[in-house]
Structure 1
Amino acid sequence: MSFSFKDLDLKAMSVEDLEHLALNLRERIIDVVSKNGGHLSSNLGVVELSIGMHYVFDAKKDPFIFDVSHQSYPHKLLSGKEDIFHTLRQFNGLSGYTKPNEGDYFVAGHSSTSISLAVGACKAIALKNEDRIPIALIGDGALSAGMAYEALNELGDSKFPCVIILNDNEMSISKPIGAISKYLSQAMATQFYQRFKKRVVKMLDVLPEGATYMAKRFEESFKLITPGLFFEELGLEYIGPIDGHNLSEVISALKQAKAMQKPCVIHAQTIKGKGYALAEGKHAKWHGVGAFDVDSGESLKKSDVKKSATEIFSNTLFDLAQKYENIVGVTAAMPSGTGLEKLIETYPNRFWDVAIAEQHAVTSMAAMAKEGFKPFIAIYSTFLQRAYDQVIHDCAIMNLNVVFAMDRAGIVGEDGETHQGVFDVSFLAPLPNLTLLAPRDEAMMQEIMEYAYFHEGPIAFRYPRGSFILDDEFHPCKIEFAKAQWLVKNGSKVAFLGYGQGVGKAWQVLEKLQNDGKNVNLIDLIFAKPLDETLLKELAKISQIWFVFSENAKIGGVGSLLQNFVQTNDLNIKIISFEYQDKFIEHGKTSEVEKSLELDVQSLLNKVKTYF
């Protein structure tokens, strides 16, 4: 049976028809993701849960809240997005995450926010005296973050009607870490427990007082070996574990939870990648994929002969860890994404994955720095936002020797607004004691990482997703504190000042200008904080027009830092920054996004030419 997902009346469908619907949803998701890339295994694993949500609740009325929203594709198809689903993650197409302007309840791209959102929605619904129930779908990996427990703590006390579906697949992006995940995954399949609990309740109604006391104590003791104990002690009802791929069980559990009119956790055990054999189970590579061949599972993307910046970081840190035994490192649930996987496997006592817990990652490494170790905190630029207070309070104030290795700086492409790494310069530059720098290519990455090991105080360096633009066009310099490098020097009134990957973009524009017989000076700032004041003052005597190339937000970015320097030193310099304007950057291929922002090479060239 083939379905159109548009205008389906799920509530009128039989379980058999719903099972056919599940097959069709999986086929559609596999087809589109194999062409566009996206989050595959996480979405395949929640098809039945998504059908159950739409069957029991009303998505137009009840808040459907998806944690991270890596698992929102079935919901998109079931809520009227079938006609545009083929545009998934494409520029000006359907987002790969939830977005209110696409009809979703809330934006999501970072982990562990769903239960807090549900609590807020509960309060609003109560104040408005409305008949609505929030439903939050959260994975077991997301329960490693403290924010989820802060919300559970309040929800258990407030007793607002709310349904939390705990999607337990024993996987987040990589294998989830920590006692909570182990507790869930090792717990007994408690269909037996649910039957037992019901029988005890019936017994309590008819037994005499003494026997009732003993039966109650026996039930409480029995709960010690079940996953429901934790949630019930917090004041939440608990159902499960259920088979998250059995539609009858899913629908029955959701109906039961809805009828309770209390906060309730439904513990659903699922298989990540369900329905696509190559992706089923504990295969982190199928979480987020590029275009691939459905039959073989092979990537359709041409292999890049150039190393990625992440690979360079990983290899360099591995070499440094062998050389310096006090180097330690941490990642927050992204061992493969940050390149720390090999180090964790080789040095399990020195490198750790602490799960989705960025705040804990930073503060725990601060203590290690105090004890004489040299921590490298490998983290995406967008995720360091989650640990901002810890950077200030636990690292910068005490001037501790912590290294922040910020991956995915700049535009990251199809993941969109929640993942673009465009704010780190702006939010880190104001912090006393913190040093900021960035490599332009592989050789400079190696130099910067060696320098970072010996640097006194907290230091952060940023690098892009994918490869550096530059190869070995310029000889690397030995890194010295607050020293820039003059790469191209002539008498031009125009200078290009690049930071990190911005140096490569500046070089691309410069080469085209040279073809037109125009010359400019080229500076690699290397350090955004502190700036090389001596070199900049020398440059000001030659060039009075400075173009800034940096993949950061313009407000508080490198251009702002240079403008402050110029004003402080009363220099007559015109600064034009090619950083990002004051808006969140949409999803799409990086080249298309840059063109839309007029930050592609040709657009930049056209802007620069007007000053000659």
Structure 2
Amino acid sequence: MNIKSRNLGQLEELCSDIRERIIDVVSRNGGHFSSTLGAVELTVAMHKVFDVQKDPFIFDVSHQCYPHKLLTGRWEEFETIRQFRGLSGFTKPKESSADYFVAGHSSTSISLAVGAAKAIKLKKEKRIPVVMIGDGSMTAGMVYEALNELGDIKLPVVIILNDNEMSIAKPIGSISKYLSKILAGKFYQSFREKIDRNIIQKLPEGATYIAKKIEESMKLITPGIIFEEMGIDYIGPIDGHNLEEIIETLEIAKAMNKPVIVHARTVKGKGYSIAEGQHEHWHGVGPFNKDNGEFIKKVSAKSATAVFADALVNLATKYDNVVGVTAAMPSGTGIDKLMKEFPTRFWDVAIAEQHAVTSMAAMAKEGFKPYITIYSTFLQRGYDQIIHDVCLMSLPVVFAIDRAGIVGNDGETHQGAFDISYLRFLPNMVLFAPRDEETLNLAIEYSYTLDKPCAIRYPRGAFTPLSFKATAFEFGKAELLKEGTSNKLFIGYGAGVSRACETQELHKEDIAILDLRFVKPLDKELLKQLSKKYNDWYIFSDSQKQGGVGSAILEFLNEEKININLTSFEYEDHFIEHGDTKVVEESLGLLPSLLVNKIN
């Protein structure tokens, strides 16, 4: 869609059309909603001022990329957003050349822009990386690592700070507002450059010092001091819904030919009054009635997240030394309930997984029992801290890993496939998993007793109910749920137990079922006993095959020189695309009705 030739009125009409399209499709499909509605004018202005075919457009996290998709040849295809084999809910270069980079985790955009700017300079090209980053992403340390270098090398990068929730620094009354308008103006930017080049640099040393101090004093009452001190020019705050003001400001920033942050204030959910403002439940939504905003609720069992939250509340009530943390996902992980019940013992540290892990390591050293509650995909961000600050000293930190396995429509960047593989090789780490609601409660109770690091994984949504009586966890002990008359053994881990049970019910043979419970350490004695009776083993686990549960058992069998035929039904060596969980599982051949045909 070519918007270069459109006038302001036509562009404002386009913004309305984009909002209407987003509201219509997301109300039917679900998706990221309030953040993307709030970024419409900013995105249209980006496309008006910059060249998407030439300049790298980099969206941080890319929750707000829907308008960008609509402006880059995907208007009709937008019907398929987040559907299996349809458009991704995030930027994806395989989908369009207008998408510069894959994004799904936060706070990577400015680092990408710095790298792109270096490459552009080396290639002697005239292109400018342009970033859109939300205020929430500014809480992560990686952003400041990138800003630190960018302020030093001074390469042209335009960063649009989409501030829709928290103020980076609150304006101080009308003076600050007035000064911000001046700072955003063409006259000030031109005047400042001329004064610096033609006057201040030629003044005597003492006069230069005084002039600089006056300039610095003015900055102190503007919101951009932190960026200016890092060597990056700051413009704003501006109205992120005033299209004329945004376009004019971006033109100024582009012409400056150096790193600059444009601070834009926006309203989440803009254009859909029911969602406007700080309503967390409108960030990512399921289908809803667009006329009244009522969500189309599906009747479902209690989620594993809710079961975990209740179990941890009970534990924290019982033991005063239980503490916990999450990284910007309090409601998603259930920690919001703990923060409300025990506000001095549970924290949201924002998008700072590395800090979350290391801070809890210190609390463990001080005698507390920390529970770090993070999605599997986001725990990857704190991997060095898990190794260096927790496992090295064998501190009794509990990692409660939510969203383990396939997570559905969020897709490649969010699937919880790798946690077993990246944690299993760490010394001192204990890995175990519940199979259902009852055993999750028991797992939380048992985790409190461990004097070393441990990780508990559980799925998105509800567990499949099972009829087996729950028994307490014992260190490194598996549980044989069912004997079998055939030579086959189904080994389930975590939510994989229910898949093993469903597959067994569809099979004509009477097959034994083992709940492995612990993948580290393995119950080697029980596995040795079972190898004497069952010769064909099948692994059921919602995890990556390489380094996963099957790998752990194969290593054991090799060490013990036990000859077993082993088949793993874990994920193959590729990233798993987005779509409804059952549809994705069907595409991977992991539904019980498909697995039963793979068992000889």
TM-score interval, smaller chain: over 0.9
CA shift in 2, pair 1:188/1:234, >3 Å: farther
Question: What is the rounded CA distance, in whole Å, between the counterparts of 1:166 and 1:534 in structure 2?
Answer: 57
For residue 480 of structure 2, what is the aligned residue in structure 1?
A: 486
Kept in 2, the 8 Å contact 1:493–1:542? The answer is yes
For residue 115 of structure 2, what is the aligned residue in structure 1?
A: 120
For residue 477 of structure 1, what is the aligned residue in structure 2?
A: 471
CA shift in 2, pair 1:220/1:196, >3 Å: farther
Question: What is the rounded CA distance, in whole Å, between the counterparts of 2:493 and 2:180 in structure 1?
Answer: 60
Deviation, structure 1 residue 18: 1.0
TM-score (norm 2): 0.95
What is the one-letter code of the residue matched to 2:440? M
CA shift in 2, pair 1:394/1:243, >3 Å: same
CA shift in 2, pair 1:206/1:162, >3 Å: closer
What is the one-letter code of the residue matched to 1:225? I
What is the one-letter code of the residue matched to 2:35? S
For residue 41 of structure 2, what is the aligned residue in structure 1?
A: 48
State how 1:235-274 maps to structure 2 within 5 Å.
235-274=231-270
Three-state SS of the structure 2 residue aligned to 1:101 is coil
Question: What is the rounded CA distance, in whole Å, between the counterparts of 2:389 and 2:442 in structure 1?
Answer: 27
Question: What is the rounded CA distance, in whole Å, between the counterparts of 1:442 and 1:196 in structure 2?
Answer: 59
What is the one-letter code of the residue matched to 2:501? W
Deviation, structure 1 residue 183: 3.7
The correspondence for 2:527, drawn from 530, 536, 556, is 536
2:19 maps to 1:33: no
Three-state SS of the structure 2 residue aligned to 1:382 is helix
The correspondence for 1:364, drawn from 359, 376, 381, is 359
Kept in 1, the 8 Å contact 2:135–2:168? The answer is no
The correspondence for 1:594, drawn from 585, 596, 600, is 585
Deviation, structure 1 residue 301: 3.3
The correspondence for 1:561, drawn from 552, 558, 580, is 552
Three-state SS of the structure 2 residue aligned to 1:10 is coil
The correspondence for 2:126, drawn from 109, 127, 131, is 131
Question: What is the rounded CA distance, in whole Å, between the counterparts of 2:357 and 2:195 in structure 1?
Answer: 51
State how 1:162-561 maps to structure 2 within 5 Å.
162-170=157-165, 181-185=166-170, 190-194=176-180, 201=192, 214=210, 216-304=212-300, 306-469=301-464, 471-513=465-507, 516=508, 518-561=509-552
What is the one-letter code of the residue matched to 2:91? T
Question: What is the rounded CA distance, in whole Å, between the counterparts of 2:564 and 2:171 in structure 1?
Answer: 65
1:155-179 deviations in whole A, cap 9, x for unaligned?
A: 0111101100000111xxxxxxxxx
Kept in 2, the 8 Å contact 1:335–1:353? The answer is yes
Three-state SS of the structure 2 residue aligned to 1:100 is coil
Kept in 1, the 8 Å contact 2:377–2:413? The answer is yes
Question: What is the rounded CA distance, in whole Å, between the counterparts of 1:298 and 1:404 in structure 2?
Answer: 35
TM-score (norm 1): 0.93
CA shift in 2, pair 1:364/1:56, >3 Å: same
What is the one-letter code of the residue matched to 1:300? I
For residue 64 of structure 1, what is the aligned residue in structure 2?
A: 57
Question: What is the rounded CA distance, in whole Å, between the counterparts of 1:435 and 1:215 in structure 2?
Answer: 61
CA shift in 2, pair 1:195/1:604, >3 Å: closer
2:142 maps to 1:157: no
CA shift in 2, pair 1:312/1:356, >3 Å: same
Three-state SS of the structure 1 residue aligned to 2:324 is strand
Question: What is the rounded CA distance, in whole Å, between the counterparts of 1:582 and 1:235 in structure 2?
Answer: 43
What is the one-letter code of the residue matched to 2:539? V
Deviation, structure 1 residue 546: 0.4
Deviation, structure 1 residue 11: 1.9
Question: What is the rounded CA distance, in whole Å, between the counterparts of 2:295 and 2:181 in structure 1?
Answer: 47
What is the one-letter code of the residue matched to 2:495? Q
2:104 maps to 1:109: yes
Kept in 1, the 8 Å contact 2:535–2:564? The answer is yes
What is the one-letter code of the residue matched to 1:540? S
Deviation, structure 1 residue 219: 2.7
Kept in 2, the 8 Å contact 1:37–1:288? The answer is yes
Deviation, structure 1 residue 347: 1.1
Kept in 2, the 8 Å contact 1:203–1:212? The answer is no
Kept in 2, the 8 Å contact 1:439–1:501? The answer is yes
Question: What is the rounded CA distance, in whole Å, between the counterparts of 1:30 and 1:587 in structure 2?
Answer: 21
Kept in 1, the 8 Å contact 2:539–2:549? The answer is yes
Three-state SS of the structure 2 residue aligned to 1:542 is coil
**5+ unaligned residues in a row in structure 1: which ranges?**
1-6, 171-180
2:565 maps to 1:574: yes
Three-state SS of the structure 1 residue aligned to 2:514 is strand
Deviation, structure 1 residue 217: 2.2
CA shift in 2, pair 1:185/1:417, >3 Å: farther
Three-state SS of the structure 2 residue aligned to 1:591 is helix
Kept in 2, the 8 Å contact 1:540–1:573? The answer is yes
Kept in 2, the 8 Å contact 1:90–1:589? The answer is yes
Question: What is the rounded CA distance, in whole Å, between the counterparts of 1:600 and 1:485 in structure 2?
Answer: 24
What is the one-letter code of the residue matched to 2:242? N
Question: What is the rounded CA distance, in whole Å, between the counterparts of 1:446 and 1:428 in structure 2?
Answer: 22
1:562-593 deviations in whole A, cap 9, x for unaligned?
A: 00111111111111000000000000001111
Question: What is the rounded CA distance, in whole Å, between the counterparts of 1:426 and 1:186 in structure 2?
Answer: 47
Kept in 2, the 8 Å contact 1:408–1:464? The answer is yes
Deviation, structure 1 residue 34: 0.7
Question: What is the rounded CA distance, in whole Å, between the counterparts of 2:427 and 2:59 in structure 1?
Answer: 38
Question: What is the rounded CA distance, in whole Å, between the counterparts of 1:195 and 1:268 in structure 2?
Answer: 12
Kept in 2, the 8 Å contact 1:428–1:434? The answer is yes
Question: What is the rounded CA distance, in whole Å, between the counterparts of 1:523 and 1:184 in structure 2?
Answer: 56
Kept in 2, the 8 Å contact 1:491–1:542? The answer is no
Question: What is the rounded CA distance, in whole Å, between the counterparts of 1:394 and 1:192 in structure 2?
Answer: 47
1:76-131 deviations in whole A, cap 9, x for unaligned?
A: 00011112110000000000000111121000000000000000000110011011
What is the one-letter code of the residue matched to 1:40? F
**5+ unaligned residues in a row in structure 2: which ranges?**
none
Kept in 1, the 8 Å contact 2:164–2:268? The answer is yes
Kept in 2, the 8 Å contact 1:548–1:559? The answer is yes
What is the one-letter code of the residue matched to 1:497? I
Question: What is the rounded CA distance, in whole Å, between the counterparts of 1:265 and 1:122 in structure 2?
Answer: 15
Question: What is the rounded CA distance, in whole Å, between the counterparts of 2:173 and 2:530 in structure 1?
Answer: 70
Identity over aligned pairs, percent:
59
Three-state SS of the structure 2 residue aligned to 1:602 is helix
Deviation, structure 1 residue 416: 0.6
Three-state SS of the structure 2 residue aligned to 1:32 is helix
Question: What is the rounded CA distance, in whole Å, between the counterparts of 2:422 and 2:304 in structure 1?
Answer: 22
For residue 140 of structure 1, what is the aligned residue in structure 2?
A: 135
Question: What is the rounded CA distance, in whole Å, between the counterparts of 1:213 and 1:389 in structure 2?
Answer: 44
